[in-house]
Chain A
Amino acid sequence: MDDQLQETPNYWNSVFIGAFIVAIATTIVGLIMLYYLAGAEPSMSMMIMSGLLVPVTCLVGMFGGIIAVRHYAKTFDITFKMGTGALIGLFTGIAAALISGILGQLWNMIDPALMDNFSNNMISAFENMDMPAAQREETISRMMENMEAQKAIGGIIKGVLINAVVLGVVNAISGMIGAKIFAAPDEE
């Protein structure tokens, strides 16, 4: 029994490496977008961003599972099933969401005005939008409620939980893909 347990090397080091990379990447890209939106002219055009930044935000969060599985397979030079890859990816995604949440809160302490500037600019953008006055008021009111809720402890925890579920799921899938690429036996 002990021999069987020792056969599977510990994967937590790989999980945290994958999680840190994803958390730092998503946090940096998210902050760049926030600064852009907080500093832009309050119009609909500020929501329409172009260039390299917008497309790269897509998929960044998905690569944690692949990175962690690759690190695990290469470090120990082993092959394993997709289920193991899914598990490593799942833990990587959850850890990435937690780390990303902590980094986000730390940045809020460094620059507390950022979220207020972002909120004000978004509200100004909606005030300039061409829509019926009643709908505009309702939208702005709901947006302000949402933003206030997101600042509260409950809102922060809810955000981290949503991200943990979503990143956990997509990284479990990318972990399976990683297992097929880096850890599948040759004959497969």
Chain B
Amino acid sequence: MIRSQEKGLYLALLSVSTTLFIIALGPGFFGGSSTFSLHWEYDVFRILCHQDPARSYSLDGVTMAVCSRCIGIYGAFALGVLLMPVSARFFSIRNSITKKILLSILLLNFADVLINAIGIWTNTLHSRLLLGILLGYSAALLLTSGFFKKQEQEISYG
């Protein structure tokens, strides 16, 4: 049985993370033209992402408002928040484990950036997306136990 807590905060988080993901998809999602940097979606993420077109995916021929790593983070986080009740039902998620998972994936992302900069490894749109997805989902997984808890079912006899 799943016990939910902090329902208001969960619904706020779900709304905010979904909205961020939709805006991050860029003008293409809203039928905008391909003119780079003149849309409000780019303004929203300007302080958070480099928005380099060469390192970003396009939607409907229009560059997204964030890079491939960031779209992975926002998308996977929103999906992870949406799936929190399901994740809590099927997995017994301990805070200490999810903390280690998140930290490991964060370090993996930094290592990817550093090794790519040095020139030992060349990351791609897809590899950055994958690392972003792992980071976003692990962040959502860490928060899951704060919102939903698995409870032992009461067993009745007779």
Contact = CB atoms under 8 A, between A and B. Distances in A.
Contacts of B50: 33, 49, 54-55, 57-58
A146 B17 contact: no
A176 B95 contact: no
Contacts of A167: 47-48
Contacts, number: 100
A169 B20 contact: yes
B139 interface: yes
A95 B66 CA distance: 23
A105 interface: no
A181 B49 CA distance: 24
Contacts of A184: 95, 146
The DSSP consensus for interface residues of chain A is: helix
Contact of B48 (A52, A58, A172): A58
Contacts of A55: 50, 69, 113, 116-117
B6 A163 contact: no
A14 interface: no
B67 A81 contact: no
Interface in B1-45: 6, 9, 13, 16-17, 20, 35, 37-38, 43-45
